[in-house]
Amino acid sequence: MEIIKTKDYDEMSKQACVKVIETIEEMHQPVLGLATGSTPEGLYKCLIDAYKRNKVHFDKVTTFNLDEYIGLSPEDKNSYHYYMNENFFKHIDLPADQANVPKGNTGNASQACEDYEQLIREAGHIDLQILGLGVNGHIAFNEPHTPFNSRTQVVDLTESTRDANARFFESMDDVPTQAITMGLESIMESREIILLVSGFKKAAALAELIHGKKTESLPASILKNHPNVTIIADEEALSKA
Ligand code: F6R
């Protein structure tokens, strides 16, 4: 795992932005894996800005998001699909049918998981996967003790993850208890992975990832097995490493 230390959140976002644009330029039909949450917001702003300045186009790009809450429709303001529309998709020239987010409200979630894996296979797998890191070491919604060989599936969210995400909801009761998430093994099939980490609250999990052993109690530690992972982290996130 290569580690790039940045001064702050903005520099982390810019470095990731450069890498995403390079990938789009290099590939004929690039496939990007995308994350939601606070961490990639700066990356999306930077990509939107580059698009507006005619430095990048997304018409040949296909995207796959990591996860979606069960029970929320794409129109629900708290769904990850809505987040992606607001923070990224509606500002760029990515055709709507090339932007994929797991379907959390189909009524048949396990079928939705299988369909999602099939779509990723048909797209030829993910060229560049963007990940954020949970305070408990999760990646996507693969919580501690998720088997390393997990595929896209329905998962129960831990209380720590529901707490961390409650800031987006009106009350704790509104925070969903389940989600569809790409599995750890599915994520590992990406050709290249960038893990973005910012802020003191991620410092302990990041230090454990860098110095600890590979263990299912820290889901992100599976990344140690991947041949092409770059961690882009700011000084605060690396303060305990
Ligand atoms: C989001 C996702 C999660 C987040 C992680 C960090 O799609 O898969 O694993 O990346 O929970 O969240 P933030 O960036 O809000 O700290």
Candidates 3.40.190.170, 3.40.50.620, 3.40.50.1360, 3.40.1390.10; CATH matching 2-130+139-197+225-233: 3.40.50.1360
Q: Is 90 exceeded by the pLDDT of residue 212?
A: yes
Contact between residue 24 and residue 58 where contact means Cβ atoms under 8 Å apart: yes
Q: What is the DSSP string of 178-219?
A: EEEE--HHHHHTSSEEEEEE-SGGGHHHHHHHHHS---TTSG
**Positions marked active-site:** 67, 136, 138, 143
Kindly give the number of the ligand 1 atom that is closest to the alpha carbon of 36: 7
Report if pTM > 0.85: yes
Q: Given this model, what pLDDT does residue 155 score?
A: 96
> Which residues form ligand 1's pocket by a CB distance below 6 Å?
35-39, 66-67, 132-134, 138-141
Instruction: Give backbone dihedrals phi and psi of 115, rounded to 5 degrees, phi first.
Output: -60, -40
Contact between residue 105 and residue 73 where contact means Cβ atoms under 8 Å apart: yes
Q: Is 90 exceeded by the pLDDT of residue 168?
A: no
Which protein residue has the closest C-alpha to ligand 1 atom 10? Answer: 132
Q: Given this model, what pLDDT does residue 84 score?
A: 98
> What does the pLDDT look like over 18-67, one tens digit per residue?
999 999 999 999 999 999 999 999 999 999 999 999 999 999 999 999 99
36, 76, 97 from 72: Cα distances, Å: 15, 6, 20
> What does the pLDDT look like over 85-131, one tens digit per residue?
999 999 999 999 999 999 999 989 999 999 999 999 999 999 999 99
Distance 36 CA to ligand 1 centre (A): 6
Parallel, antiparallel, or unpaired: how do β-strands 153-156 and 128-132 relate? Answer: unpaired
Kindly give the number of the ligand 1 atom that is closest to the alpha carbon of 140: 8
Q: Is 90 exceeded by the pLDDT of residue 164?
A: no
Q: Where are the domains of the chain?
A: 2-130+139-197+225-233
What whole-number percentage of the chain has pLDDT above 70?
100
